[in-house]
């Protein structure tokens, strides 16, 4: 792993008022932008009915609808790489603001988009294009946010800063769930189909504009400002430097992204449907339990980020991976005996998934400042496009043979997290021995 220089190792002061302000604004903006990206999935059924021909089979309609949703994930690597490239050359803040604009406008336009009844085949085509823009935006937002907060706070507070920011992103998922629940409970199905679904997207556009306004008060990171002043910016295409000189960092970052995607996609996003379809749990109970798990996840992100600062990322992933494997087995196996402990077990599993809050701590330390944004963005977005896209299909197929497939999949990826934690711990021990005076 590549060390990051004095910017990550010399400052141990507590977080200042300005640090808290930066963290708060970044986390709030991230939550609002993640809401914009995720709200689509909560209205996928309605969107499928409105944007595709009424005479096609239901399975094909849903397949096409989720295909458009998946297009947002596939667009992440390209958008993230391009935005990271300019983030390493012209500034973190500019790209941090651009990602908000690229997300807010398509979200607002989706809410105003005419349906198939008006535009015909052009309706799903325009929907697809807007979804691609959303994917490009989120591809720049998440890595950009991690880099931004990490380069603002003291080195000994990078873990908690990244944990708070990641917790903010997960809060965006909860916000989407709550808004969708409120719309579906407060309106009749015909009202939701006619205009209620649009309200969620228009609200998302407003959220994005609000987030863009809030980010006016953020400043360029001290690390990038120092690089700019000393003319130490990347002299060639940043990604070329990453792929030539930091391949091991890319591999480790991708493996941790696999762990992150397994926890979020399987335990948080897929499980509400799993509870309803496999265990016949009422939708209201499944969604409420999921909301509790997301709250626990948000708290877990902060706790694990703080642990990275206190005991190092190696030990954090060793402990966290074991806890994740234990709690997901407790949760999914417990469902076989009934749903009496549903809320408690799901909350524990959600907290354990909070280990994802420690992932950016490793990533921002893995690449030097001049190519940090590009290295992190490439690793994260490419890995998430692969693993985030394939995981639902793999687990769904696996469940045909094994009702505990979600548990087995997350447990297997927890072993990957444990192995990475062991590697990080060994590297940190060697670095500590080298740093000791003779």
CATH 1.20.1250.20 residue ranges for the chain: 15-233, 235-430
- 3-class DSSP state of 403: coil
CB 398 within 8 A of CB 409: yes
The CATH number given to 235-430 is 1.20.1250.20
Each residue's pLDDT tens digit, 250-303 = 999 999 999 999 999 899 988 887 888 889 888 778 888 988 999 999 999 999
- C-alpha 296/C-alpha 202 separation (Å) is 28
Confidence at 30, pLDDT banded by 50, 70, 90:
confident
Tokens coding 110:
């989706």
Read off the DSSP letter of residue 262: I
Of residues 360, 363, 353, the one with CA closest to residue 165: 360
The CATH number given to 15-233 is 1.20.1250.20
Of residues 336, 334, 353, the one with CA closest to residue 344: 334
Rounded to an integer, what is the distance from CA 88 to the centroid of its chain?
21
- C-alpha 157/C-alpha 159 separation (Å) is 5
Least confident window among 5-14, 46-55, 143-152, 329-338? 5-14
**What Cα–Cα distance (Å) separates residue 395 from each residue in 74, 102, 265, 266, 402?**
19, 32, 10, 8, 10
Torsion of CA 210, 211, 216, 222, to 10 degrees: 170
Percentage of the chain exceeding pLDDT 70: 90
- C-alpha 189/C-alpha 425 separation (Å) is 53
- C-alpha 281/C-alpha 274 separation (Å) is 9
pLDDT at 9 over 50: no
Which pLDDT score, from 0 to 100, does residue 5 have?
A: 42
Of residues 145, 136, 130, 264, the one with CA closest to residue 201: 130
- C-alpha 276/C-alpha 283 separation (Å) is 6
Of residues 186, 163, 223, 197, the one with CA closest to residue 368: 223
- C-alpha 148/C-alpha 88 separation (Å) is 11
In terms of average pLDDT, the best of 87-96, 119-128, 129-138, 323-332 is: 323-332
- C-alpha 86/C-alpha 92 separation (Å) is 8
Of residues 157, 145, 199, the one with CA closest to residue 25: 145
- C-alpha 339/C-alpha 163 separation (Å) is 31
**What Cα–Cα distance (Å) separates residue 39 from each residue in 42, 47, 226, 434?**
5, 11, 38, 49
- C-alpha 383/C-alpha 377 separation (Å) is 10
Of residues 273, 232, 253, 259, the one with CA closest to residue 369: 232
**What Cα–Cα distance (Å) separates residue 328 from each residue in 3, 226, 264?**
34, 44, 12
**How many residues are present in the chain?**
438
pTM: 0.84
Which pLDDT score, from 0 to 100, does residue 422 have?
A: 97
Tokens coding 348:
């524990």
Which pLDDT score, from 0 to 100, does residue 224 have?
A: 66
Read off the DSSP letter of residue 216: G
């Amino acid at each position: 792993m590549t060390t990051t220089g004095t910017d990550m190792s010399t400052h141990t002061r507590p977080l200042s008022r300005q640090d808290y302000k930066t963290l708060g604004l970044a986390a709030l903006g991230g939550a609002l932008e993640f809401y914009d990206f995720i709200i689509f999935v909560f209205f996928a059924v309605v969107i499928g009915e409105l944007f595709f021909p009424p005479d096609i089979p239901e399975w094909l309609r849903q397949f096409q609808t989720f295909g458009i949703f998946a297009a947002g994930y596939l667009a992440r690597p390209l958008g993230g790489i391009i935005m990271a490239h300019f983030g390493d050359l012209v500034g973190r803040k500019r790209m941090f603001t651009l990602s908000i604009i690229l997300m807010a406008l398509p979200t607002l336009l989706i809410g105003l988009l005419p349906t198939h009844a008006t535009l015909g085949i052009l309706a799903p085509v325009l929907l697809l294009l807007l979804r691609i823009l959303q994917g490009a935006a989120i591809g720049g937002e998440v890595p950009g946010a991690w880099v931004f907060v990490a380069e603002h706070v003291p080195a000994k507070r990078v873990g908690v800063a990244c944990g708070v920011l990641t917790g903010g992103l997960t809060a965006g998922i909860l916000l989407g769930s709550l808004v969708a629940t409120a719309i579906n409970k407060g309106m009749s199905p015909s009202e939701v189909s006619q205009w209620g679904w649009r309200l969620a997207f228009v609200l998302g556009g407003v959220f994005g504009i609000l987030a863009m306004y809030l980010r006016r008060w953020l400043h360029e990171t001290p690390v990038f400002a120092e690089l700019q002043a000393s003319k130490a910016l990347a002299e060639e295409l940043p990604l070329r430097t990453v792929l030539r000189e930091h391949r091991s960092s890319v591999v480790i970052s991708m493996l941790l992204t696999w762990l992150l995607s397994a926890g979020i996609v399987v335990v948080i996003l897929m499980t509400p449907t799993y509870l309803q379809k496999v265990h016949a749990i009422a939708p209201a109970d499944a969604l409420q339990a999921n909301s509790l798990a997301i709250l626990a996840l948000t708290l877990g992100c902060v706790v694990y980020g703080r642990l990275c600062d206190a005991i190092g990322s190696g030990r954090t992933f060793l402990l966290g991976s074991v806890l994740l494997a234990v709690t997901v087995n407790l949760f999914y196996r417990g469902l076989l005996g009934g749903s009496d402990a549903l809320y408690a077990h799901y909350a524990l599993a959600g907290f354990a998934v909070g280990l994802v809050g420690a992932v950016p701590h490793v990533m921002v330390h893995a690449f030097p400042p001049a190519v940090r944004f590009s290295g992190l963005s490439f690793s994260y977005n490419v890995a998430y496009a692969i693993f985030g896209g394939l995981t639902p299909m793999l687990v769904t197929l696996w469940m045909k043979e094994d009702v505990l497939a979600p548990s087995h999949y997350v447990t297997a990826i927890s072993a990957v997290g444990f192995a990475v934690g062991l590697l990080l711990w060994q590297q940190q021990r060697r670095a500590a021995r080298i740093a000791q005076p003779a």
